[in-house]
């Protein structure tokens, strides 16, 4: 099953690569064709994921046109490195999947330079008072104390910078933020908050916000998936058992709330009668669970990942050559007006997870 699925994904990715040209996609339109964020939207947080898809499939097939297209995406993101307002907590998503993958596979010095520039900026967002990396930008300072669970997935940019430079400060900052996430984001039952608000001057925790979830006290499923994967990655980079324990608690909560259909809602608190789904949460969780299975030495996490991938493959996968996307039912936020549509990061994590299940592809984190 997995070999055949990987082959079909690769065939479609190559077709879409040829059709899309130099576009940097975020979502598909009503015709099923990708949009383009390479102009005014060059700093958008998802702008590394299509390149990540290309690199994963290049690692699988060795097709040079996939490599060339991914490098074009990487060069276009140089404009984002000059946009102070667009450089935020998501630098890992943008440059680990572009310059990071390129450097892993080619050892190009230009890619290393981009990776270290992005890492230096991310490290500069660290607030030592509360030991957290600030999330979004604003000119007023209103969000200066905001930190989000998503940032766990961007910490490998800092761990990798330490490995590449020998400077421990990058990895120290990453581990300190992960420690704050463990103490301030994860609830006793293993679920996590999306946004924690700190006093940026003192580091005191002021409260939490539901962010892209349904309401305070709910569990935004993509955030829970970030926690599974992100805590696991911090454990792999640091070998700190705190982070493995957090990943296990996050995973056990997620597994206990998967509906019988195997399809993941936007928020676990939304109720069975709400039709909003998020395939991206399922794909991210599946890839994270595959890593956690190895880190924790527990087959049940691998089995759970396979169940999630099987549900997506059988019920939510579009392999038609006439569309650009793979997964059909994604949601950015519970309170958005639109739901159940394609998003590029869902396709990336689905591709990554399928190839990971085969022991193929490239490790980006």
232, 250 contact by CB (below 8 A)? no
135, 89 contact by CB (below 8 A)? yes
pLDDT at position 248, please?
98
At 137, the pLDDT band (50, 70, 90 cuts) reads very high
- What mean pLDDT, rounded, does the chain reach? 97
At 202, the pLDDT band (50, 70, 90 cuts) reads very high
pLDDT at position 306, please?
98
pLDDT at position 87, please?
97
The pLDDT tens digits for 262-271 are 999 999 999 9
**What sections of 62-187 are H helices per DSSP?**
64-76, 78-81, 91-95, 101-106, 109-123, 156-165, 168-184
- Concatenating the DSSP letter of every residue in 172-188 gives HHHHHHHHHHHHHTB-T
pLDDT at position 280, please?
98
Strand partners, 28: 34
| Range from 14-18, 270-274, 291-295 carrying the lowest mean pLDDT | 270-274
pLDDT at position 7, please?
98
Find where tokens 């609830």 sit: 187
Q: What is the mean pLDDT of residues 55-80?
A: 98
Q: What is the mean pLDDT of residues 144-153?
A: 98
At 140, the pLDDT band (50, 70, 90 cuts) reads very high
Task: Report the b/e string of 17-35 with b at 16+ CB within 10 A.
Answer: beebeebbbbbbeeeebbb
SS3 233: helix
Residues 6+ positions from 159 with CB-CB distance below 8 Å: 170, 171, 174, 233, 234, 237, 238
Tell me what percent of the residues of the chain surpass a pLDDT of 70. 100
Q: What is the mean pLDDT of residues 333-347?
A: 97
Nearest by Cα to 285 from 221, 354, 337, 201: 221
Spatial strand order in the sheet of 205-209: 146-148, 195-198, 205-209
* Cα(362)–Cα(56) distance, integer angstroms: 6
Instruction: Write out the two tokens for 19.
Output: 């059709």
Helix, strand, coil in percent for the chain, rounding step 5: 55, 10, 40
For strands 195-198 and 146-148, give the pairing.
Answer: antiparallel
pLDDT at position 3, please?
97
Domain positions in the chain are 2-357
Taking the CA atoms of residue 219, residue 220, residue 226 and residue 231 in that order, the dihedral angle to the nearest 10 degrees is -20
For strands 195-198 and 205-209, give the pairing.
Answer: antiparallel
pLDDT at position 204, please?
98
At 46, the pLDDT band (50, 70, 90 cuts) reads very high
pLDDT at position 269, please?
96
pLDDT at position 122, please?
98
Q: What is the mean pLDDT of residues 4-31?
A: 97
At 9, the pLDDT band (50, 70, 90 cuts) reads very high
* Residues written for the chain: 365
Find where tokens 């761990």 sit: 159
SS3 74: helix
Question: Taking the chain, what is the end-to-end CA distance rounded to the nearest angstrom?
Answer: 26
- Answer whether CATH 1.50.10.10 is correct for domain 2-357: yes
SS3 341: strand
pLDDT at position 112, please?
98
pLDDT at position 173, please?
99
At 322, the pLDDT band (50, 70, 90 cuts) reads very high
pLDDT at position 59, please?
97
Find where tokens 């001057």 sit: 201
């Amino acid at each position: 099953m997995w070999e055949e699925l990987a082959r079909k994904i690769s065939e479609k990715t190559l077709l879409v690569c040829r059709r899309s040209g130099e576009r940097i996609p975020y979502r598909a339109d009503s015709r099923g064709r990708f949009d383009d964020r390479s102009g005014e939207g060059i700093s958008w947080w998802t702008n590394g994921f299509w390149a990540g898809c290309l690199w994963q499939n290049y690692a699988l097939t060795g097709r040079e046109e996939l490599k060339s297209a991914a490098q074009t995406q990487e060069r276009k993101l140089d404009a984002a490195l000059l946009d102070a307002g667009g450089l935020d907590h998501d630098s890992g998503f943008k440059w680990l999947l572009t310059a990071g993958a390129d450097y892993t596979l080619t050892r190009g010095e230009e890619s290393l330079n981009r990776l270290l520039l992005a890492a230096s900026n991310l490290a500069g967002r660290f607030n030592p008072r509360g030991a957290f990396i600030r999330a979004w930008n604003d000119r007023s300072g209103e969000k200066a104390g905001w930190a989000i669970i998503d940032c766990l997935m961007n910490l490998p940019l800092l761990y990798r910078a330490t490995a590449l430079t020998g400077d421990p400060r990058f990895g120290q900052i990453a581990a300190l933020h992960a420690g704050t996430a463990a103490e301030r984001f994860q609830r006793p039952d293993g679920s996590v908050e999306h946004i924690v608000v700190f006093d940026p001057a003192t580091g005191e925790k002021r409260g939490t916000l539901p962010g892209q979830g349904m309401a305070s006290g709910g569990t935004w499923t993509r955030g829970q998936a970030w926690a599974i994967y992100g805590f696991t990655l911090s454990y792999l980079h640091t070998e700190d058992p705190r982070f493995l324990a957090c990943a296990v608690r996050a995973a056990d909560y997620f597994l206990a709330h998967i509906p019988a259909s195997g399809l993941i809602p936007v928020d676990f608190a939304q109720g069975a009668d709400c039709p909003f789904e998020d395939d991206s949460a399922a794909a991210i969780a599946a890839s994270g669970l595959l890593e956690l299975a190895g880190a924790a030495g527990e087959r049940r996490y691998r089995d759970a990942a396979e169940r999630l991938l099987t549900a997506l493959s059988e019920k939510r996968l579009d392999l038609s050559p006439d569309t650009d996307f793979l997964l059909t039912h994604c949601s950015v936020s519970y309170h958005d007006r639109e739901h159940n549509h394609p998003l590029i990061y869902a396709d990336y994590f689905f591709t990554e997870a399928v190839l990971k299940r085969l022991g193929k592809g490239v490790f980006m984190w």
